[in-house]
Structure 1
């Protein structure tokens, strides 16, 4: 068995395609109308077709459960945040936070209230700590990861 891709249900597939392209840079790989695959392997499915597939009524599909997210890592986190801040219609879960392991992240909603997390690439986090004068051992302690992981990130 092989996992193929996450699929999210959307109320307006054209609006979602535009959002994922403009905000995250994802492009359409395959477009079958009611089902679209984006770069990165995310599939979008129209709400109407999804209801048919799972034998549910429209009102039984609920968006905004805050129980899952699509997670992305960004090499140039500061540049992404600047670009995101210039967009007027972003609905934030929260602004930038730095997790205990040092990774900076932002979370926001897509048009159907699916949570999107964009985090600083973990390799960049390791390099940032190294550039700030921490030793490899200190980075491992700070990030609560094995020294081998830090060394792997620095290769």
Structure 2
């Protein structure tokens, strides 16, 4: 058994494909009409067909109880590109206590999207600022093994 794809139910599949293409650079790798798989493994399913699959019209959006997480190596560049998109932010860019910068926003159907700075990049940013590996491990609350792997 292995997990294959997260699948989002969407109200307008073409609008959603365009959103994920513009914001993340994803594109369709499998197109079954009412179901499309994008690069990275994200699948989209039309709400009409999904209602038939599960036998109910009771589909809700915007539950704020699930998110799709992306990591970005060049977080500053992504943040600049995001300014060009029509995005409903959940919160602006923030820095977690462990030093990772993140932003959360909604896709067109109010699915939560989180984009975080790659944790190896966070580690290197701290090391480049003059912190010792031990200081970085403490600041990020990670084992020295992680810091050592980032330094290779």
Both structures adopt the same fold (TM-score exceeding 0.5)? yes
CA distance in 1, matches of 2:102, 2:145: 24
- Superposed CA deviations along residues 101-126 of structure 1, whole A, max 9, x for unmatched, are 10000000000000011111111100
Match of 1:15 in 2: 15
Unmatched tracts of structure 2, length 5 or more: none
TM-score (structure 1 length as normaliser)? 0.96
Q: Secondary structure at the match of 1:97?
A: strand
Q: Secondary structure at the match of 1:40?
A: helix
1:148 aligns with 2:145: yes
Match of 1:42 in 2: 42
Match of 2:83 in 1: 85
CA distance in 1, matches of 2:136, 2:18: 39
Match of 1:99 in 2: 96
CA distance in 2, matches of 1:26, 1:9: 17
- Superposed CA deviations along residues 75-128 of structure 1, whole A, max 9, x for unmatched, are 1100110111122x2100100000011000000000000001111111110000
TM-score (structure 2 length as normaliser)? 0.98
The equivalent position to 2:72 in structure 1, one of 64, 71, 74, is 74
CA distance in 1, matches of 2:146, 2:94: 23
1:26 aligns with 2:26: yes
CA distance in 2, matches of 1:153, 1:19: 33
Q: Alpha carbon RMSD of aligned pairs, Å? A: 0.7
TM-fit CA distance, 1:154: 2.1
Structure 1 runs of 4+ aligned residues shifted over 6 Å read: none
